[in-house]
Structure 1
Amino acid sequence: MNNKGIKRLFLIFSIITIGLIISACSSDTGSDDTNNEGDSGAQSGEPQQGGILNVGLSSNPNTLDPIRYTGVYESQIMRSIGNTLIVYNKDLSGFDPSIATEWEPSEDLMSFTFKLRDDVYFQEGEYQDGRQMTAEDVKFSLERSSEESALNRLAGVESVEVVDEFEVKIHLEEPNSALLAMLTDRGNIIVPKEEVEGWGDAFGANLVGTGPFTLKNWQTDQQVELVRHDNYWGETPNLDGVTYKIISDPTMMTNALRSNDIDIATDIKGQNREVIEQDPNLELQSKNGLTLTYIDMNNQEGPTADPKVREAIYKATNVEEIVQGVNQWGGASVSYAPIPKESWAYSEELESLKPEYDPEAAKELLAETDYADGFKTELHVLESRVPYATIFQNQMKENLNIDVDVKVSEWGTLSDTASKGNSPFYIGGWAWYPDPYFFLNQLYHSDQIGSLGNGRGYDNSKVDELLDQALTGTADQEERTALYQEAIEIMMGDYSRIELDNLDTTAAVSPQVGGFEIMADGSINIVDPNGTNVWVSR
């Protein structure tokens, strides 16, 4: 092993040791919301009017055009400027009205009808004067997303029909009960045709919507300033405006919060979590998020094509040790199932499906296969996930005499290798909406073989049947939950991949801020139809 490899291995063992002795980081207990004691400032007071809220973002937005954006940090700004038809409620268990007041699927799930508010007005722009929004704007915006979205954020929409001035019907190419989740995406906010066509390619720097704040000024690599939209249809914002400051360095982000340069710091990780928690004047909000980390095992080729080999490997994997070692400062919990804990289909009963760590039982299982003496294999991974890989590598060698060669690749190469089924092992991460469709159909359905989600080649006809039924057979959430949970039980019994961790979503908040709560999906909502209306006290 070269010097770089030795240093990396030493670092990982140090992380494991520290992680095991910090009880607060134990992943067995899950990851509950974290709140500091001490002066809670505006958090416990009455909402106050006025002031500018400063929010730190870790990356600079490239565009605010709904059909072109690709980053979460861009959507954080967009959600204050534009509105979607519906929004998730605060616990992500269902939907609240936004521009749409009510909605109903057809019996065959081939269309959804939405009744719209008649008091929604656009912000003033270069090409219109703040006119009223109508069904024609919804048709324009959603069909534009369906046809041109860079990340296919409204897949499966055939057309949008204007029923009358304030009612639309969305027609689908095939039944899809997951449409409502897609409609909450900021890629599907409603925008005025005049502004889109007038600005052309520059619309992404001049976004106009119906939201609580208007885009005032954008200084590239520095900040984006928004001011209150005085003709906003919803609850009057408490704030005069919001400024998003771009701070890419995590330590600088934390220091900016501590020095009052920003009021909310986003994406707090690693040792910065400890810094915030030790500051009695700040609050760390941390809860189970919608991001999973896992190890795919090739289900089609090589030793892991044998289900018994996969089962042995899962039982020889000390997942708890990996999660504690990688997340020594907290911020993650053990993953027990292929959906995140904040998905509405999750149940603690699913946790019994995770195999117990039992290296002796694992050796006995492997002895029943053609690989009793172990084998050599490769694990493909991004640089950022090397800590997971190194601990797993050591466990496999110690417990099953499996030699794992860790192959580090950049994203383009890795995604191509994994999607084509050329990875014996692959550490992946997945985050999406709380609807199980976006985790289970995308990563387990056989029609996704050859894509990044199911590059390992998982194929089970019964699972396909259950997933199809949950997507096209019913829009009832309880019925869909039962179908997804039945499918998960089969998936876990097939040992097609190893569940590692469920990452937290985090934010750190100044005591001057009131009414803010981090969402499990990572949303930074300032004023939202789900009941959020943040204020600040100076």
Structure 2
Amino acid sequence: MKRISKALLAVSLSAAAFLAGCANEPAAQETQPAQTEQTPSGEKVIVVGLQAEPTSFDAHQISDYNTSRAAMEIYDQLVQFKEESTELEPDLAEKWDVSDNGLEYTFYLKKDVKFHDGTPLNAEAVKFSIDRQIDPKHPFHDTGTFAYAEFTFGMVDRVEVVDPYTVKIVLKEPFAPFLSNLAMHAASIVSPEAVKKYGKDFSKHPVGTGPFKFESWTPGVEAVLVKNPDYFKGAPKVDKLIFKPITEDQTRLSELEAGSIDMMVNIPPDDLERLRADASLQVVEQPGMHVWWTAFNTQRKPFSDVKVRQAVNYAINKESIVNNILHGTGELANSPVPPTVWGHNAALKNYEYNPEKAKQLLAEAGYSNGFEVTYWIPESGSGMQQPATMAAAIQADLAAVGIKVNIQTLEWGTYLDKVFQPKEKMDMDMHQMSWVGDNGDPDNFLYAMFSSEQWPAAGFNDSFYKNETVDRLLKEARTTLDKQKRTQMYEEAQKIIMEEAPWIVLDHEKQIVAASQKIKNFKLHPTGVFRFANVDVE
């Protein structure tokens, strides 16, 4: 979410990006009864069933949905998004100034805030948290792979400590989304002393200033956070959060209905109405900043030919997938940018279902007899909805126009490592992916995934798409402070992208979470990150 340290962006993202890392093995078998009521010890506990294993608890290495949901309550940023919104408000910074030329951002930190290890939050910690990611010569740059560093801070020239509680960030050029970037996970402020102590193992011993503290992580089983009683905004009401990776949707659903977990994500669409009717459960919904697609490797045959990409798009009955597989849990997309994000081009239309047009284009491209291709999909993962079922529908539609599709499935972390390879190492021709916006700005969708400057391992452009006009529009829009002009640039870029079809753009998933009625005041956020600081249980 969303999503690079020039070293391995993503995942690998060696450790990051859409994060890769630990194996996400099913962990439901030994799930203990949920404890949303007070336990004999008086603790209030919430057990969350995730779709995939977290991959790192180092905020600077996060780049997938499930990991951010499990880890981000450990941290704070200089600014934060308001509840249920991408509008900004103060967080660790009580106020800030921006120079008239848009190059200098000066932040005035709240005093007496401490990290979980007892060390003080100060301007040096802010500088450390940014420099660690963007400066290859920083003594602790080698402690991780920072998938979002280039995207979040690539425009930063330097960070200056003005005094113990004042820090100035100087940009190389004006960058319109910069303040919003500072509310993202890569802008979290970490404890310098903890990074120095644990080095590369900081991801297993994370220390921030947030409402919850890290207690333990047993990969494949659970991760546990406990409340921070000294949180500067007031101690949370919940004592403990337990995150369990349960990759199989029906298993996760069974655990919820049995009371072994209190909350679950990625509800099987066929079961949604039944859950809504269950008086013991609540279904929380919100339009999200999500897009699901299948990427073509535009630098390799047959998908280097735009006619082939267009043909595949015409061959797929996208509306049927949304209606009959997703059952309304997603909205048919007309662009990579969701309608919830400003700059969305509502005038565009997706490719209609037209197999005859698909055959015509294939013949024009020299593939009258079709071709054979491998289609890579994850077994589950962040925002991936129903990967196998959706892939099977696409496979059947393409078979009808002469394209033989072989489906290959990988575990999520391994899959991400394979997707976000440099072009010369990339052996996927066609694969699934999804993205959840990080900051509510169209730059976060369009530049991140369609700029040729963002080819892996420098970024998330997993189709290796390149168009000089699109590159120019996206680069200019980043440095233009006039929102109306930016909107026009983004609308034009979306039109070109849809015409050139580097993706099969399918849908925008709605955020839907099912939870016990005992959980009170839980609200979804457009970024998909879970917030528990103000949540309580009966």
> TM-score, length-normalised on structure 1?
0.75
User: 8 Å contact 2:314–2:358 — kept in the other structure?
Assistant: yes
Equivalents in 1 of 2:371, 2:219: separation in Å?
A: 49
Report the CA distance shift for 1:477/1:212 in structure 2 as closer, same or farther (over 3 A). farther
Counterpart secondary structure, 1:56: strand
Segment of structure 1 superposing worse, 160-169 or 447-456: 447-456
Q: Paired residues, what number?
A: 471
- Pick the aligned partner of 1:144 from 132, 136, 139: 132
Counterpart secondary structure, 1:160: strand
Counterpart secondary structure, 1:394: helix
2:253 alignment partner in structure 1:
254
Equivalents in 2 of 1:207, 1:424: separation in Å?
A: 37
2:163 alignment partner in structure 1:
164
Letter in 2 for 1:430: W
Equivalents in 2 of 1:332, 1:103: separation in Å?
A: 38
Q: State the 1:135 CA deviation.
A: 1.4
Q: State the 1:535 CA deviation.
A: 1.8
- Pick the aligned partner of 1:116 from 89, 105, 109: 109
User: 8 Å contact 1:332–1:502 — kept in the other structure?
Assistant: yes
User: 8 Å contact 2:48–2:264 — kept in the other structure?
Assistant: yes
1:456-467 equivalent positions in 2, closer than 5 A: 456-467=463-474
Equivalents in 1 of 2:308, 2:215: separation in Å?
A: 59
2:450 alignment partner in structure 1:
444
Q: State the 1:247 CA deviation.
A: 4.8
Correspondence 1:133 to 2:121: yes
Q: Deviations over 1:170-203 (max 9, x none)?
A: 2345554343344323343223333333444554
Correspondence 1:507 to 2:505: no
Q: State the 1:512 CA deviation.
A: 1.6
- Pick the aligned partner of 1:357 from 353, 357, 361: 353
Counterpart secondary structure, 1:353: coil
User: 8 Å contact 1:254–1:276 — kept in the other structure?
Assistant: no
Equivalents in 1 of 2:351, 2:54: separation in Å?
A: 42
Q: State the 1:239 CA deviation.
A: 0.4
Counterpart secondary structure, 1:378: strand
Equivalents in 1 of 2:208, 2:309: separation in Å?
A: 50
Equivalents in 2 of 1:420, 1:218: separation in Å?
A: 32
1:166-315 equivalent positions in 2, closer than 5 A: 166-173=165-172, 175-216=174-215, 223-234=222-233, 236-237=234-235, 239-248=237-246, 250-271=249-270, 273-297=272-296, 299=298, 302=301, 305-315=304-314
1:382-421 equivalent positions in 2, closer than 5 A: 382=377, 384=379, 385-398=387-400, 401-408=401-408, 410=410, 411=415, 412-413=417-418, 416=421
Q: Deviations over 1:225-247 (max 9, x none)?
A: 5444343222x345051221425
Correspondence 1:536 to 2:534: no
Report the CA distance shift for 1:175/1:231 in structure 2 as closer, same or farther (over 3 A). same
1:378 alignment partner in structure 2:
373
Q: State the 1:137 CA deviation.
A: 1.9
Q: State the 1:511 CA deviation.
A: 1.4
Report the CA distance shift for 1:449/1:146 in structure 2 as closer, same or farther (over 3 A). closer
User: 8 Å contact 2:216–2:223 — kept in the other structure?
Assistant: yes
- Pick the aligned partner of 2:531 from 504, 521, 525: 525
> TM-score, length-normalised on structure 2?
0.75
Larger helix share, 1 or 2: 1
Root-mean-square deviation (CA, aligned residues, Å) is 3.5
User: 8 Å contact 1:153–1:182 — kept in the other structure?
Assistant: no
Equivalents in 2 of 1:193, 1:366: separation in Å?
A: 56
Give the number of the structure whose alpha-carbon radius of gyration is greater: 1
2:330 alignment partner in structure 1:
332
Report the CA distance shift for 1:315/1:107 in structure 2 as closer, same or farther (over 3 A). farther
- Pick the aligned partner of 2:44 from 52, 74, 77: 52
- Pick the aligned partner of 2:81 from 83, 88, 91: 88
Report the CA distance shift for 1:163/1:273 in structure 2 as closer, same or farther (over 3 A). same
Equivalents in 1 of 2:355, 2:464: separation in Å?
A: 26
Counterpart secondary structure, 1:339: coil
1:450-489 equivalent positions in 2, closer than 5 A: 453-454=460-461, 456-474=463-481, 476-489=482-495
